Amino acid sequence: MSEPRSHESPDSEQSPVAPGPLGTADATRMALAASRALCAAQQIPTACLLMVATPIGNLADVGLRTLALLQRCDLVAAEDTRAAQRLLKAWGLSLPLLRADRHREQAAAQQVMRHLAEGRRVAFVSDAGTPAIRDPGAALARSARAAGYAVLALPGPSAVTTALSASGLELDEGYVFAGYVPATQGQRAEFYAAQLGSPRAVVCFETPHRIRASLAALGELAPRRRVVLAKELTKQFETFVEGHVEDLLRWLDAGAHHAQGEFVLILEPAPAHAAGALPQQALPWVLRLARELPASRACAVVAEMTGADRRALYRWLLEQPEHGSSRQASGEPGSQD
């Protein structure tokens, strides 16, 4: 499955270079010539696999080094051959294509190995973004390395870092990339519960037909946690919305097209007092046990299981709407405990 790539505004993909005094074709030729000149001295093995990051929306985001080295490849293995063909055509390139999606990645790896054995350079591109980051590609790279061939990476677009760079969140402690939010209600709740204790920002992907249910599930667990929602990254209707879950849900309802496109969600880090004390695995456990046990008892059991701080765990549990009334029934753990 690829990094988020929207289909709301396909016209924005048609021309990678905006028309100017020289015209699009002339500008493209100049870009290709510049890429060749800049990379002329770079030596790459005759038999190697290049893992190539490709634009997540706007085809103009392709790197000059990527264009230069694609011109020196013999074929392109692609998760989606149609997307790869659009990219190559936009930049005046023509290369044989080999389908290498997740369903036939192992078979494609065998084909790629045969090409490498014959001394060819093979580029692998995912549908959009950086290969092997929630995309196929790992099996190809692993097979090539195991067979003794060079595997090179051509850096470029990534929905994760693109969203983070414009989020405004402090990232001194780093971030966690959690992939796609699960599709089912129960798995979705457990997924968010596991992420909410992270002392780092958490980045995840969501689809347009699940975005509302996903935000609603997050809101049930952490209604006051701030979230950055990004959609249509690099394209005409790129949008960033920040706020609590209820703010994001109101924004979705405010426009018929707001729920269209692919989404990146960034959860701000857990509060400092709770983040360091709560292992991520503790949160889904305490939510489950609190359905059957008094809150204080559930927290004591989970603290013993995971090493979490019991009081921090109890404070976190009481912040969850469905358990907020537990304080009256069970009493917060005291110092004598």
Q: What is the arithmetic mean of pLDDT over 254-281? A: 80
Place of tokens 């950055």: 228
Residue 201 and residue 195: Cα distance in Å, rounded?
A: 9
Q: What is the arithmetic mean of pLDDT over 292-298? A: 88
Place of tokens 């494609």: 108
Across 189-203, 238-252, 266-280, least confident range: 266-280
Mean pLDDT of the chain: 85
pLDDT of residue 188: 92
pLDDT tier at 63 (50, 70, 90 boundaries)? very high
pLDDT of residue 278: 67
For 81-102, how does the pLDDT look when each residue is reduced to its tens digit (9 = 90+)?
A: 999 999 999 999 999 999 998 8
Residue 124 and residue 81: Cα distance in Å, rounded?
A: 11
Q: What percent of the chain has pLDDT over 70?
A: 86
Place of tokens 């009256």: 328
For 1-17, how does the pLDDT look when each residue is reduced to its tens digit (9 = 90+)?
A: 456 654 443 434 444 44
pLDDT of residue 9: 39
For 27-56, how does the pLDDT look when each residue is reduced to its tens digit (9 = 90+)?
A: 888 888 999 899 888 889 999 999 999 999
Q: What is the arithmetic mean of pLDDT over 256-281? A: 79
Q: What is the arithmetic mean of pLDDT over 248-272? A: 92
pLDDT of residue 241: 97
Q: What is the arithmetic mean of pLDDT over 244-268? A: 95
pLDDT of residue 176: 94
The CATH 3.30.950.10 domain(s) of the chain lie at: 160-270
Domain 160-270 coded CATH 3.40.50.620:
no
Burial tier of 76 (Cβ tally within 10 Å: 0-12, 13-18, 19+): buried
For 270-288, how does the pLDDT look when each residue is reduced to its tens digit (9 = 90+)?
A: 876 554 446 777 888 888 8
User: Between these two residues, 291 and 177, which has the higher pLDDT value?
Assistant: 177
User: Between these two residues, 195 and 51, which has the higher pLDDT value?
Assistant: 51
pLDDT of residue 13: 43
* Nearest alpha-carbon partner for 27 in 37, 36, 35, 17: 17
Instruction: Check pLDDT > 50 for residue 262.
Output: yes
Question: Which three-class secondary structure string do you get for the chain?
Answer: CCCCCCCCCHHHHCCCCCCCCCCHHHHHHHHHHHHHHHHCCCCCCCCEEEEECECCCCHHHCCHHHHHHHCCCCEEEECCHHHHHHHHHHCCCCCCEEECCHHHHHHHHHHHHHHHHCCCEEEEECCCECCCCCCCCHHHHHHHHHCCCEEEEECCCCHHHHHHHCCCCCCCCCEEEEEECCCCHHHHHHHHHHHCCCCCEEEEEECCCCHHHHHHHHHHHCCCCCEEEEECCCCCCCEEEEECHHHHHHHHHCCCCCCCCCEEEEECCCCHHHHCCCCCCHHHHHHHHCCCCCHHHHHHHHHHHHCCCHHHHHHHHHCCHHHCCHHHHHCCCCCCC
Strands 48-52 and 121-125: parallel
For 100-117, how does the pLDDT look when each residue is reduced to its tens digit (9 = 90+)?
A: 988 888 889 999 999 999
Q: Which tokens sit at 150?
A: 């060079």
Across 61-65, 72-76, 328-332, least confident range: 328-332
pLDDT of residue 197: 80
The CATH 3.40.1010.10 domain(s) of the chain lie at: 10-157
Cβ atoms of residues 264 and 159 within 8 Å: yes
pLDDT of residue 2: 58
pLDDT of residue 18: 44
Amino acid (one-letter) located at 94: S
Cβ atoms of residues 242 and 164 within 8 Å: no
pLDDT of residue 326: 43
Topology at the third CATH level for domain 10-157: Cobalt-precorrin-4 Transmethylase; domain 1 (3.40.1010)
